[in-house]
Structure 1
Amino acid sequence: MIFNHYAAKLSDLDMQIVNCVPPGGNWKDIPETIPSQRLAQIRESYKAGKGSRSTYYGRLRPEMPAYTINTYFNRPGNGCNMHYEQNRTLSQREAARLQTFPDSFEFKGSITAVNKQIGNAVPVLLAYQIAEQIPFKGQFVDLFCGAGGLALGFVWSGWKPVIANDIDKNAIETHKANIGGLTICGDINEENVFNTIVNTALKAKQEHPDLPLFVLGGPPCQGFSTANTRRGVSDMRNWLFKSYAKIVKAINPDGFVFENVKGITNLDGGRFFEVVKTELETCVDKIKINKVNAADFGIPQRRDRVIIIGGDKQLVDKFTLVPITGVYKEGQIGILPQIIGVKEALKDLPIIAHAEDGSKKEYIYEASNPFQRLMRGKIQPKEYLDSYK
């Protein structure tokens, strides 16, 4: 069983479009004879100098990592979401792999719910490397937990879950099924939800005084995302960092990890990010801002993120995320090894058509590289990362 290996159903028009785009191509490869109002709008926008829209209706290059996996990876016109070879968009399992969720990880809920969980997740392997840079193992509270990308990375590193919270019932079901530990579904600002999280965390600290406690979480990032053209400080989702900080203050953990999109740093000319930093600085001795791209950390996806670590001065000063891979175009030479491309990451998965569920199909062949072996549970994360040394 290969969970969630389902490819979205495409319209006849979308299939005409997909058949025209070569690997590495985009909307510019689509003939104007194909009737599409959206394509006409993209062409007009391009002519008006409003950006190249280079990833729209894009097909992945087999030798390169994917672009950012978002919640619309099932739509050919919403990014570079076409399979590098097969005439369809990425399947849910393929997108999950590019987020470094292992094939054994089953997402719960409707097709739309699963797409949302995958696109909003923190790459598991990035979370693992964050956890590995903390000089101890402990227990954690997972806020705005989603499907559990941050949580699974910390579990891989030897940490234990205490309680997880999200307002999305499908994400909570996924988290519960794959991570374990207590969960509570509901608005973090509701008194009963807030109290349950805090009381459970305080009880865990009391019962396991030898285990350090961290708070993990990334408040919803849609309001910060550069993909959101209407983003701004008036978007109420942008203020959920205060709820995160309120719980951190109530629990008084040994530290926290705060994850979000790169767009959080330039909202309102950067003034909003100063507010976020000031609020988080009131929770701990010190914080450190880390700007990372997932493709620099052994993940076959170009995904820019901001990671804020908070805790005592000694812990924060020593925390460092060191890139192990790079992204190089043809002819370029770099110091670090090239990150694997999408073909090497995905080619062992069953071939499927659009609208097909290949969950019950068999792998095409045995895992042929360390990434495939990691995704299929044949090796541990450290062994995969060490393969780049």
Structure 2
Amino acid sequence: MIRVVDLFSGAGGLTFGFKNRIENNTFIESNEFDILFANEINKNASDAFLLNFPEIPMLNCSITDINESYLQEKNIDYTDVDLVIGGPPCQSFSTVGKRQYDERAKMYQEYRRVLTFVQPKVFLFENVTGLLSMKNDEKLPVLEDIKKSFSDFSDFGIDLSYEIKDSVLNAKHFGIPQNRERVFLIGIRKDLEIVHDWQFPAPEIDNEFLTLEDAIGDLPSLGNGETKHLYENAPYTNYQRLMRNQCNYLMNHVNGTNGEKMLTIMQAVIPGEGRNYINSLVESGALDQKYYLTSGYDNTYGKLWWDRPSSTITNNLTTPSSLRCIHPIQNRALTPREGARIQSFPDTFQFIGAIKSINSQIGNAVPPLLAMVIAQQLKDFFDENFLIGRE
């Protein structure tokens, strides 16, 4: 088995992909990877992780607390680690936010510090594409700074170095109904004898991507402020059948309560349009002046397309005034369960906390199906280079 540590785990999107595979359009538990421990500072996310992966030790603490003494006190095995996976907080790098090179932006340095005593053969690092254009305190590209720091650990007084490979992967190319690009770094320890070089997974789908309807079309319709816990329709796509995962109780399918102004705006906007479209209706006299929107970005108050992949799911997926998240054929925003479906979490996957916290657990995650593709690629890489004959 490949021995793994999951840092900044969230509710467990990466772990799900490493602990499961798909056979006959059904999720099957995989035993190829042994997750030695996971770390997540957010209590709700760590509780959700434990709920879904009760057999994996979870350290609900800041990564800054984790050192060899701490792991020994917790009786956590961190010896002979093959792989570290995880992505530090991405909000500082997001092109939507303030893009500040703040303490959260520097958390990759803590990820790096953990590598100094875990010293895995390989690590997987994930973050938003905003990382590509973010600058550090010296106005240099953050990504290059990160890659350079992972290539040389001499500042710790140890002989440790990784060869870094990076790529941008889009979830829609791997059977996920979401246009979601993310940066992935793979680090391979330079002291190892690598025969077969690492290759990122090639896109599996170049067109005819899964659509929003393919993902959530079977879920019950909801009125203003309504919640439903029972399925009303049979799944009619393979993706819907996979996501049902033999679930018979619908969790987190709740619609918020909106006032008259928001209901009117959501009804008026058309798929693919948003704030500017509403304002154009006001300017033309088609809508009353009271509906004019003075705040937000061009794609806030945006309505999704039914016949295309979803836009990138964010932490505000249930807030209609946020980035594009209005349902294309119902007068409401997405529900947390719809967001989870779009991210490729099965309906059996449980989240913990209030809606805001649940949305963060969903929006921050690596889509499990994408994690599954990467996990298979890593398994093949380990089999070719390290694990032949190892049990």
- TM interval, shorter chain, is 0.5 to 0.7
Alpha-carbon deviations, 1:323-365, whole Å to 9, x = none? 012xxxxxxxxxx34111101111111222232221x212411
Q: CA distance change for structure 1 residues 232 and 315 in 2, over 3 Å: closer, same or farther?
A: farther
Pairing 1:317–2:197 present: yes
Residue 46 of structure 2 aligns with an amino acid whose one-letter code is I
Residue 34 of structure 2 aligns with an amino acid whose one-letter code is K
Which structure shows the bigger proportion of residues in helix conformation?
A: 1
Structure 1: tracts of 5 or more residues without a match: 1-136, 207-211, 326-335
Task: Provide the rounded CA distance (Å) in 1 between the counterparts of 2:75 and 2:122.
Answer: 13
Conserved? CA contact 1:198–1:251, under 8 Å: no
Q: CA distance change for structure 1 residues 195 and 346 in 2, over 3 Å: closer, same or farther?
A: farther
Task: Provide the rounded CA distance (Å) in 2 between the counterparts of 1:242 and 1:198.
Answer: 22
Alpha-carbon deviations, 1:250-274, whole Å to 9, x = none? 1011211100000111112652221
Pairing 1:223–2:92 present: yes
1:275-294 to 2 correspondences below 5 Å: 275-282=145-152, 284-294=161-171
Structure 2: tracts of 5 or more residues without a match: 22-29, 153-159, 247-345, 347-367, 374-391
Structure 2 match to 1:299: 176
Pairing 1:369–2:369 present: no
Structure 2 match to 1:184: 59
The total of aligned residue pairs comes to: 228
Q: Runs in 1 of length 4+ with deviation above 6 angstroms?
A: 198-202, 378-382
Q: CA distance change for structure 1 residues 246 and 264 in 2, over 3 Å: closer, same or farther?
A: same
Identity of aligned residues (%): 30
Residue 146 of structure 2 aligns with an amino acid whose one-letter code is V
1:1-389 to 2 correspondences below 5 Å: 137-157=1-21, 158=30, 159-180=33-54, 181-190=56-65, 195-197=69-71, 203-205=77-79, 213-228=82-97, 230-233=98-101, 235-268=102-135, 271-282=141-152, 284-312=161-189, 314=194, 317-325=197-205, 336-358=206-228, 360-365=229-234, 367-377=235-245
Residue 59 of structure 2 aligns with an amino acid whose one-letter code is I
Task: Provide the rounded CA distance (Å) in 2 between the counterparts of 1:372 and 1:290.
Answer: 29
Using the TM superposition, give the Cα deviation of residue 167 of structure 1 relative to its aligned residue in structure 2, in angstroms. Answer: 1.2
Conserved? CA contact 2:83–2:122, under 8 Å: yes
Alpha-carbon deviations, 1:139-180, whole Å to 9, x = none? 211111111111111111532221111110000000011123
Task: Provide the rounded CA distance (Å) in 2 between the counterparts of 1:284 and 1:146.
Answer: 27
- RMSD between aligned residues: 2.9
